[in-house]
Structure 1
């Protein structure tokens, strides 16, 4: 299991890995150079912390659950727990929204955040996941809490063809249908050409709780057909130049035909019942997510300067379940198309025996077209067309092989064209309607200069200190603000952007040959944040107010012997806001963003070289931060969240060099519990149970 940390210079473009330990699989490594799409650096130059989920961790977690949101909740300390559904609502990073990427291509839809951006690729196609924690503007709009970058697999062999074939079954001990999963990876190299082909298909079975009752069909991951395909082609022009082209396609659709049995918050869970009672006419899920990327690298464009160019295109659609919130009911979707280019130059300023300096500069260009409609064609938000041009500059200085200083600037120049539209007539909680009104669109302009600075001092192997300041700039949830407009022109709406200032201080090191650690504290502030709150008629609206989020996180990793390793992590955060903008931060940001403290623990053992056994534990602490109103009801996001503990079991056995079998069990003790969102949402429809025990058996053939 690899534990790594990466530092990302907020603006620029730099990603660095710190200490990496892979004690069960390889010998100890003191220095590793890895890449995250923009710039390679040495691990001793890290000014902040990042979690890297390595390929072997992904494959190990895949034995238990193929849902990437589940994999991340067990491997990223400061990421919120998942909902167990297709939506990643509430799965924030350090209390703020996260920007999701695939090989640097934006997947999130910040103009209308539909919370479907984490489940956009099959884990079998991933080489690693890099999680940059804290505000960042490396990739532009939407990274208030950080970045999750899915790095896809690449060819690592000189053979003409090599590959991995996997097939498996999933199921629960309550009867019903089994799930099936299959994936195929092919890679190779022919002269100067190399290729990687990845295909995956999964048909999930029914999902039931620990009592064998069907889970709620709303945003359900049951009875889904998941497809993923990736083709990556590379050509080495010469020793200095390389061209790479890739396509990634993902589709996830449900044909779960269950009715909805709405429960009572805190008493009776919402469940699925009655075959053939679904009101959905379109399968919910993400029917398409197409990503195309073309990259060009030149290590020696001219003396001391390298160049990286990335061109990309994304076409995304996600469909939600039936809702009677609006007049005549229906299903909504989010449609998004992005096209962009990144130009990255790296010039060496000097390179002496004990010091060196370099400057990284370039520009990012992005066009993002996003809209939310109903499946019958009615507009819920208008068409929003955003163009973002952002030049950046980063300076890095290394002194005495111990001290690293980085600083940078990025200029955000954003223009959004909003079409004229009519708001939908929405049904209030008391049964009355809000009338549809025409809203005149127009142009919105945003400009800002954001910066970052970081410093790391490698004192001794057992103590390395880092501190950083970074900013993020985003136009978050513009679509939701527009669709609930009560004004006939967008000029009267509060659409100011969110600028987040993130301060981080931490220490990392290796106390002995068998103990690694990291401890980080952070504070992030914003003069005008954005949170979901509940209006008097219990409808959701966005509250804009000053915010402060702060917290701590850390981990310990023990390797007392080569055949066993264990460790754990802890994360805690708090968020406060000044609702009246008077400097009185006595109000708390609700639990939809401020997740409960979380402990992750693991143990991995290889009693014999061919057998691997492991147990993962997730403990989510209780949250009791708010009180009920006069009617004894919690507002949205303020519900009391009880604690819960879940254990997963995973194992694998290498029959020989080519064959391996694995068995994993999620919720191995079949505990009946609810995900955090079921409690903090404080709504009957959201009060659902989590899945009971669920097993996965897989066979793998490697050649």
Structure 2
């Protein structure tokens, strides 16, 4: 039997790779990030790989596609490609689930991962996106692969009122595909101490069709959808050191797509939308509500050398899925999650001399998360889950000689989950038989663990900065999925142990010349008990709990040889192995639902005349052929389908007419390439075999005042 050899060689065999400037991050020496240490700090002080997607980049990508999952697939190398649907299923980060935040408020529903968390905000309201790659416990449950934190726009003007207005249209070369979007942002100061920021955005999408003009599958489709986003922030500066801020951010999406479903044949003919579904009463698919309330207090001088931040938040989330006939009598399901939380963050300076600095960040997080998955008729698919998480933490940071940064921290997780009594659903197997519904007695689950991180960053000179880290995450991801497939009459007989991920990372970044920036990173993450969707003998899905190892490399190159042109790109590759029998034999690969194909992103951006910018983006996903079909049936198992390679080009341009007016135009899938997204292949199911969007254009007009 093949025993595991930890791929330490990956840490040494780093390949110089690339990352995009306009469509990807540019690492400025003065760039500041918030998420990595829960406080503002220079990116040159972070001992791990971080991607920051700026507002300029978001606006540029918005010209092509307003879907945030699409924007991120073009800006984060190690994030898997988008499904092109309202679900972000399979869009993992470094082969593991990601924790999504909005201004630090958790959007993910790890108790029952509904895969709708990435698409939970309109990009018009985002100032920047910070992506912390690799397992981290700094924000709690669910960050096995890292964190995506949407930082929303803040007050940015000393005038009483200023803002930005945008209106645009989208369309394809086929009837009924026209869509519109509009957004309005306002900001200003009511008094010298009292400021505000407000935003409204609305989008109405048209029918979405493939390269041949055929309607895409209506399942989880973003077509004929109304998307709304609102934001309101008020801030008051008590004095030079103290500030109070209150905010509300709301998002909603509802589809009235009236297409019927015509199921295709996997690998042969795609599943499409055809005819009408009006004969079936259904609730509109989408996310009808995602409310986020937050109030925070900052004191930069609580006492000598100590700063304080307190944040209190509420989140109310509901998402609705399409009709399913996989269980008796069929129906639609909802994931409903309500969160209440508080974060207490102290930052104390230990010393500050000419050659060194030391500080300690400490505090506690408190979170209550109530999540359930129910059918529209009231039947429970998962039980009520009521989680309380109390986690004190501490992080020490030392800066020596303005070159060597050392960081180390601990976090103690104390999680209690109250699980209600419930009856499992009677599901329909492929052979037409039923699994019998059983009553499951609920109860209390309790989890405790001490997780830590340690890292270094040595800034030799502008040409080379080395960084390395060890970090851990702790999560009880997909507890609901485990519970709902119960075959036991009590939850104590189920395998519900948490996932603890150990992440090792080594990399280098720098500016070789004035016009060349780079970063190269390698990583290994291990977990004694992972969680992966696998297919049982009757072709139903179940969660496999087994030891895992995921490893990979990624990076970017960015060239700016002249002030009117820049170009570059990125590359990412990963692999994952597991030992299903927990016997040390790691010859089994983690399936493609988590391990995405290698991805290359490339770009060129030119400014031929003043005010005009023209660019071309390329996404190339390599072939992924890691499994063999069943020898008897010739069918692939879920997650193991062979994924062909594909290449897509996007065009984008903008012209600054004057300081107030700008027009922008973009074309998605410029050459009308006919292809299927990765999920269509690796899922290996007829209903999931769908085509990708054909050529679609966007025209936008912007007014700033």
Length-normalised TM-score, structure 2:
0.95
The CA distance in 2 between the partners of 1:309 and 1:567, in whole Å, is 41
Whether 2:386 is the aligned partner of 1:385: answer yes
- Counterpart residue number, 2:5: none
Residue 406 of structure 1 is matched in structure 2 by 407
User: In the TM superposition, what are the counterparts of 1:139-288 in structure 2 within 5 Å?
Assistant: 139-190=139-190, 191-277=192-278, 279-288=280-289
Change (3 A) 1:23 1:695: closer
CA contact (8 A) 1:23 1:562 kept: no
Return the alpha-carbon distance in structure 1 between the equivalents of residues 371 and 27 of structure 2. 47
1:106 aligns to what?
106
- 1:102–1:244 CA distance, 2 compared to 1 (3 A): same
Indicate the SS of the match to 2:274: strand
Which residue is 1:3 aligned to?
Answer: none
Q: What SS does the aligned partner of 1:350 have? A: strand
Q: Against the structure 1 CA distance between its residues 115 and 278, is the aligned structure 2 distance closer, same or farther, given a 3 Å change threshold?
A: farther
Correspondence for 2:322:
321
Greater Cα shift, 341-350 or 36-45: 36-45
Task: State the partner residue of 1:16.
Answer: none
Q: 1:399 to 1:100 in 2, by over 3 A?
A: same
Structure (1 or 2) with the greater strand fraction: 1
Q: 1:688 aligns with which of 687, 690, 698?
A: 690
Deviation at 1:46, TM superposition (A): 2.1
Pairwise CA RMSD: 1.4
Which residue does 1:8 correspond to in 2?
Answer: none
User: Structure 2: how far apart are the matches of 1:345 and 1:449?
Assistant: 20
Higher relative contact order (CA 8 A, sep 6+): 2
Is the 8 Å Cα contact of residues 258 and 278 (structure 1) preserved in structure 2?
A: no
Query: Are the counterparts in 2 of residues 259 and 278 from structure 1 also a CA contact under 8 Å?
Result: no
2:373 maps to 372
What is the match of residue 32 of structure 2?
Answer: 33
State the partner residue of 1:131.
131
Residues 656-691 of structure 1: per-residue CA shift (max 9 Å, x gap): 111111110000100100000000000000000000
Alpha-carbon distance in structure 2 between the residues aligned to 1:361 and 1:46: 17
TM-aligned CA distance change 1:282 to 1:443, over 3 Å: same
Q: 1:477 to 1:205 in 2, by over 3 A?
A: same
Q: Distance in 1 between matches of 2:117 and 2:384?
A: 19
Q: Is the 8 A contact 2:20 2:601 kept in 1?
A: no
Cα distance in 2, alignment partners of residues 32 and 262 from structure 1: 49
Report the Cα distance in structure 2 between the residues aligned to 1:494 and 1:30, rounded to whole angstroms.
Answer: 47
Deviation, structure 1 residue 618: 0.2
Whether 2:650 is the aligned partner of 1:651: answer no
* Structure 1 residue 400 displacement after superposition: 0.9
Counterpart secondary structure, 2:545: strand
Q: Distance in 1 between matches of 2:181 and 2:593?
A: 33
> Which residue of structure 1 lines up, in the alignment, with residue 16 of structure 2?
none
1:660 maps onto 2:659 in alignment: no
- 2:13: which partner in 1? none
- Check whether the contact 2:20–2:75 (CA below 8 A) recurs between aligned residues: no
- Could you say which residue in structure 2 is the equivalent of 1:431? 432
Q: How many residues align?
A: 682
How far is the alpha carbon of 1:42 from its aligned partner?
A: 2.9
Matched, 1:503 2:508: no
Distance across 2 between alignment mates of 1:33 and 1:218: 40
1:678 corresponds to which residue?
A: 680
Q: Which residue of 2 aligns with 1:61?
A: 61
3-state SS of paired residue (2:75)? coil
Q: Deviations over 1:248-295 (max 9, x none)?
A: 110000000110000000000000000245635100000000000000
1:587-610 deviation digits (Å, cap 9, x = unpaired): 000000000000000111111121
Q: Distance in 2 between matches of 1:479 and 1:29?
A: 42
| 1:544 and 2:545 correspond | yes
The secondary structure found in structure 2 opposite 1:607 is coil
* Residue of structure 2 in register with 1:697 after alignment: 699
Q: How far apart are residue 22 of structure 1 and its match?
A: 8.0
The CA distance in 1 between the partners of 2:256 and 2:656, in whole Å, is 36
1:45 Cα deviation from its structure 2 partner: 1.5
CA displacement 1:490-548 (0-9 Å, x = unmatched):
00000000000000000001100000000000000000001000000100000000000
Deviation track 1:71-123 (CA, whole Å, cap 9, x = no partner) reads: 00000000000000000000000000000000000000000001000111000
* 1:564-609 Cα distance to aligned partner (Å, 9 max, x none): 1111000000000011101110000000000000000011111112
| 1:176 positional shift | 1.6
More deviation, 269-278/313-322: 269-278
The alpha-carbon deviation at position 33 of structure 1 amounts to: 3.4
Query: For residues 306 and 282 of structure 1, do their structure 2 counterparts lie closer, same or farther at Cα, with a shift above 3 Å needed?
Result: same
Distance 1:28 1:291, change over 3 A: closer
Pick closer, same or farther for the CA change 1:161–1:202 going to 2, 3 Å.
same
Deviation at 1:23, TM superposition (A): 9.8
Whole-angstrom CA distance in 1 between matches of 2:526 and 2:278:
47
Tell me if structure 2 keeps the 8 A contact 1:235–1:242.
yes
Residue 289, structure 1, aligned to residue 301, structure 2: no
Residues 555 and 192 of structure 1: CA distance in aligned 2, closer, same or farther (over 3 Å): same
Residue matched to 1:11:
none
Which residue does 1:5 correspond to in 2? none
Distance 1:295 1:135 in 2: 27
Check conservation: 2:20, 2:567, Cα contact below 8 A: no
Secondary structure of residue in 2 paired with 1:528: coil
CA 506–280 in structure 1, closer or farther in 2 if over 3 Å, else same = farther
Per the normalisation by structure 1, the TM-score is 0.96
Note the C-alpha offset of 1:34: 4.1
Give how far 1:155 is off: 1.1
Runs ≥4 residues deviating over 2 A: 20-24, 27-38, 275-280
1:21 positional shift: 11
Could you say what secondary structure the match of 2:483 adopts? helix
Corresponding position of 2:4:
none
Native 8 Å contact 2:29 2:42 kept in 1: no
Q: How far apart are the structure 2 equivalents of 1:662 and 1:578? A: 51
Matches within 5 A, 1:469-618: 469-618=470-619
Residue-by-residue CA offset, 1:28-66 (whole Å, 9 max, x unaligned)? 953233434821223332211110100000000000000
The residue number in structure 2 matching 1:10 is none
Give the deviation of 1:169 after TM superposition: 0.6
8 Å Cα contact 1:172-1:694 kept in structure 2: yes
Specify the alignment match of 1:4 in structure 2: none
Distance 1:472 1:553 in 2: 21
